Chain A
Amino acid sequence: MFSVAATAQVKPAAAKTDIIHKKAPVDTTVAIAIPHKDSILLLPGGIRIGVDLSRIVSAIYYPYRKEITVVADARINADLYLAFEGGYANTPYSDSNYTYKGNGAFVTLGLDYNFLKRQYPSEKNMFYGGFRYGFSHFNYAVPSYTIKNPYWGDHLTSSIPKTNVNAHWIELMLGLKAEVFKNFFMGWNVRERFLINNVKTDAITPLVIPGYGNGGKRTVLDVQYTVSYVIPFYHVKERIAGTEVKKKKIPKR
C-alpha cells in the first residue's frame, strides 16, 4: 500500500488511468560470504612406552612361561598410531615324562586406530582396534624324554637336540587405554593371533612360541593388561574444514 501511494505522488498521470502496477515481491535474502578457511588443530603426540602386566599373571598359572613384553606406540595422526611390541621368553619345563628348554625373542609391528570421539582436543583416552604382524626367532630342545610302557616294562629314553625356528603370525585386536594420571596410561586389549607358518614336527611341538603363545595351536586368544607412559615431544596436526558460504536473511531498509 505504501509503495502504491508513493508512486501516485510522483507520477500523477498513472493514477488517472486507474492502472495499478504491481511490483514483484522484493527478495530480502542477501548472500554473504563467510571466509572459507580450514582450521588446523594441534593435538598432543608422543611415544608411549609400557609393559604388559598380564605376563606376571600368566607366569603364575603357567610356571614354564616366563616372558617380558614391552609395548610402545607413536601417534602419526589424529586417530592413527604406529604400534610396536617386543620381548623375550624363556620356557623351562620338566615333569616325569620329559624336560623341555626353550627361549627366544619376538617383535610385532602394526597400527592402532582410535574409534573414540574426542570430547576435547587434548583427550588421549583411546578405544581402538588394530592389527599386528608378529615374528619370533626362538630355539628349543628336549634334553630327555621317557616313553613308558607298563605292559612291556620297558622305558625308552632319548632326547631331541636344540632346534632353531622362526614363527610368523598376524594379530587382530580391540582394546582401550585410559589416561589415569597425566601422561600415565592403563589399558587392556583382547587379541586373536593367527599363526602363518607351521612350527610343529612329528617329533615335537614347541610348548611356547615367544610372543605368540601355545605352539600347538593355529589360533590363540590372548589378553594384555598394560601400564604405559607417554613422552610428549611433538604435536600432530588435525585439519578442521572451514565453514561454507551461507545465505543470511537481512531485512531491507
Chain B
Amino acid sequence: MVTVNGEQQDTAGKTVSDLLSEMKLMPERTAVMIGGEILPKTEYERILADGDEVDIIGFVGGG
C-alpha cells in the first residue's frame, strides 16, 4: 500500500505520472513529495513502491 495525502491506496507499481493523471492533476501545477522530500519533475516516471508516503499538492489559481 502507498500512502497518498494521508490515505492508504493500492497504487504500488504505478508511476507518479499515472497517479497525477488519475487525480486529474497537471504535472506543471503540482509539487510531489515522497517521504517528505521533493520529487524533481524529471523523476515523475518513478514507480511507487509499498510503504511510500506521497504528498501531492495541486495548486489552484488566485493570489
* Co-complex (A, B): no
